[in-house]
């Protein structure tokens, strides 16, 4: 993977997944001086991105840089790419990888943008890439932080974290993605970043439920704070650096997602709080709310390692239809009392 030289093309990046974040992150990479090719599933979307320079399905009204091309052909998207960005829904990654892997260069670095944990295996996305692709960890990075796609696409200033077990790889990627509006920090705590990203989606679902029920800022701040405590408890048990959870990929993303009406997870929760069913919500949107699936995998993982996760437990119960949103709030208040820092 090549680094940067000011003014030069930095190299080719393949972005696999043409949804909101895949497209917004393509803008970041193009603005930073990379040639970007997006892989989309549908011809009409690839054409709209490559020829019309707009992804009206996911980011309507945003004009895309001319250096972004698009295709439905994985071989074409990946030819010559030294950075391979994965931006499909987490639960579809395992099924999608075999389409891509034959065309990935042997030195290319994978960058996961995905914020979910696989159902059934409880694996993080970097673990799925390592397992299915037989890829060493020094070729797998994750990007995670307070990065709502629409704001990034509008080039509103934001920071993020690029994490890789190999710090030199993280630093090279940092140079590849540093753009006028996007400031990446490096980290070697891949696990902490991935947990921060997946967990905040579940907390945002819970906060959305509170908003949908008509509750205000005291309730949401209480849920955000206890959500962060819960995230840190589980992630630290699994080996994360606690400071990662206090950083951009933890607290930063948690605050952005739980506060923003742009968040699909918060919106999903809000609709549940207003009385819609999970089925009605799925039928009303094409976009992914990762927390609605990851609540079950995070719950299973927490139970495997014996960590108490009341918010994840309760959100999963609501999503499975076994608890009402009002019941969730009641359960939250009526849990056994304890010390805050226990
Ligand atoms: N949208 C955002 O603001 C951010 C999203 N993320 C994460 O990025 C990942 C991708 O999310 P978005 O781009 O936002 O989702 P999206 O819902 O906007 O788009 C998902 C994309 O994946 C495609 N897709 C759906 N099912 C598929 C399947 N079975 N196989 C292959 N492709 C499929 C869709 O056609 C679409 O192009 C998620 O893990 C999300 O949590 C991370 C940071 C910000
Ligand atoms: O991850 C995100 C912001 O960092 C986007 O959150 P949603 O998937 O809830 O929209």
Place of tokens 């043409």: 18
Looking at the fold, whether 200 and 175 belong to one and the same domain comes out as no
Binding residues: 17-22, 41-42, 58, 115, 145, 149, 200, 253, 263-265, 288, 290
Query: Which tens digit of pLDDT belongs to each residue from 65-124?
Result: 999 999 999 999 999 999 999 999 999 999 999 999 999 999 999 999 999 999 999 999
Rounded to an integer, what distance in angstroms lies between the CA atom of residue 209 and that of residue 220?
A: 10
- What is the pLDDT at residue 8? 66
Binding residues for NAD(+): 17-22, 149, 264
How far, in Å, from the CA of 261 to the mean position of ligand 2? 10
Query: Is 4 inside a domain boundary?
Result: no
Rounded to an integer, what distance in angstroms lies between the CA atom of residue 15 and that of residue 76?
A: 12
Looking at the fold, whether 161 and 16 belong to one and the same domain comes out as yes
Last residue of a domain, one of 173, 188, 203: 188
Query: Is 146 inside a domain boundary?
Result: yes
Ligand in nearest proximity to the CA of 285: 1
How far, in Å, from the CA of 186 to the mean position of ligand 1? 23
- 111 neighbors 86 (Cβ within 8 angstroms): yes
Q: 148 CB less than 6 Å from ligand 1? A: yes
**Residue 48, domain CATH:** 3.40.50.720
How far, in Å, from the CA of 174 to the mean position of ligand 2? 21
Last residue of a domain, one of 151, 167, 188: 188
Q: How confident is the model at residue 6 (pLDDT cuts 50, 70, 90)?
A: very low
Among residues 10, 12, 200, 293, the one annotated as catalytic is 200
Q: 146 CB less than 6 Å from ligand 1? A: no
Query: Which tens digit of pLDDT belongs to each residue from 143-175?
Result: 999 999 999 999 999 999 999 999 999 999 999
Looking at the fold, whether 63 and 174 belong to one and the same domain comes out as yes
**Residue 232, domain CATH:** 1.10.1040.10
Residue 115: which H helix or E strand, with range? none
Query: Which tens digit of pLDDT belongs to each residue from 237-287?
Result: 999 999 999 999 999 999 999 999 999 999 999 999 999 999 999 999 989
- What is the pLDDT at residue 9? 79
In the predicted model, is pLDDT for residue 3 greater than 70? no
How far, in Å, from the CA of 337 to the mean position of ligand 1? 39
Looking at the fold, whether 53 and 117 belong to one and the same domain comes out as yes
Question: What is the model's pTM?
Answer: 0.97
Rounded to an integer, what distance in angstroms lies between the CA atom of residue 221 and that of residue 56?
A: 34
Q: How many CB atoms are located within 10 Å of the residue 4 CB?
A: 18
Last residue of a domain, one of 128, 158, 188: 188
Work out the mean pLDDT of the chain and round it to a whole number: 97
Span 306-319, mean pLDDT? 98
- What is the pLDDT at residue 316? 98
Measured CA angle at 211 (ends 207, 216), to 5 deg: 100
Residue 155: which domain range? 12-188
Place of tokens 């991105």: 49
ipTM confidence? 0.98
Rounded to an integer, what distance in angstroms lies between the CA atom of residue 20 and that of residue 154?
A: 12
With b for 16 or more beta-carbon neighbours within 10 A and e for fewer, the 110-131 pattern comes to bbbbbbbbbeeebbbbbbbbbe
Q: 149 CB less than 6 Å from ligand 1? A: yes
Could you give the number of structural domains in the chain? 2
Looking at the fold, whether 23 and 165 belong to one and the same domain comes out as yes
Ligand in nearest proximity to the CA of 145: 2
Query: Is 339 inside a domain boundary?
Result: no
Place of tokens 């696989």: 118
In the annotation, is 200 catalytic? yes
Q: Atom 24, ligand 1: which residue's CA is nearest?
A: 88
Query: Which tens digit of pLDDT belongs to each residue from 168-194?
Result: 999 999 999 999 999 999 999 999 999
Q: Atom 3, ligand 2: which residue's CA is nearest?
A: 148
Q: How confident is the model at residue 142 (pLDDT cuts 50, 70, 90)?
A: very high
Helix (H) and strand (E) counts in the chain: 16, 8
Query: Which tens digit of pLDDT belongs to each residue from 221-239?
Result: 999 999 999 999 999 999 9
Rounded to an integer, what distance in angstroms lies between the CA atom of residue 246 and that of residue 147?
A: 16
């Amino acid at each position: 993977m090549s680094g940067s030289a000011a003014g030069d093309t930095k190299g080719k990046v393949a972005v696999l997944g043409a949804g909101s974040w895949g497209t917004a992150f393509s803008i970041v990479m193009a603005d930073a001086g990379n040639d970007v090719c997006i892989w989309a599933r549908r011809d009409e979307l690839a054409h709209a991105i490559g020829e019309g320079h707009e992804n009206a399905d996911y980011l309507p009204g945003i004009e895309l840089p001319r250096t972004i091309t698009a295709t439905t052909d994985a071989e074409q998207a990946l030819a010559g790419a030294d950075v391979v960005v994965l931006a499909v829904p987490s639960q579809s990654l395992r099924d999608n990888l075999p389409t891509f892997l034959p065309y990935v260069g042997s030195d290319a670095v994978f960058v996961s943008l995905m914020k979910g944990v696989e159902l059934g295996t409880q694996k993080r996305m970097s673990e799925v890439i390592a397992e299915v692709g037989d890829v060493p960890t020094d070729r797998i990075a994750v990007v995670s932080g307070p990065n709502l796609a629409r704001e990034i696409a509008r080039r509103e200033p934001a920071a993020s974290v690029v994490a890789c077990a190999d710090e030199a790889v993280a630093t090279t990627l940092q140079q590849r993605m540093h753009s006028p509006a996007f400031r990446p920090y490096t980290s070697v705590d891949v696990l902490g970043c991935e947990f921060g990203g997946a967990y905040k989606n579940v907390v945002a679902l819970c906060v959305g439920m509170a908003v949908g029920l008509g509750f205000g800022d005291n309730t949401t701040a209480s849920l955000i704070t206890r959500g962060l405590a819960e995230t840190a408890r589980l992630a630290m048990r699994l080996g994360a650096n606690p400071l990662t959870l206090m950083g951009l990929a933890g607290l930063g993303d948690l605050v952005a997602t739980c506060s923003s009406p742009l968040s699909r997870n918060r919106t999903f929760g809000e609709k549940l709080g207003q009385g819609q069913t999970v089925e009605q919500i799925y039928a009303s949107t094409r976009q992914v709310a990762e927390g609605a699936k990851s609540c079950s995998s995070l719950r299973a993982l927490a139970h495997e390692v014996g960590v108490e996760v009341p918010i994840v437990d309760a959100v999963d119960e609501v999503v499975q239809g076994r608890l009402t949103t009002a019941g969730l709030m009641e359960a939250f208040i009526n849990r056994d009392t304890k010390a805050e820092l226990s």
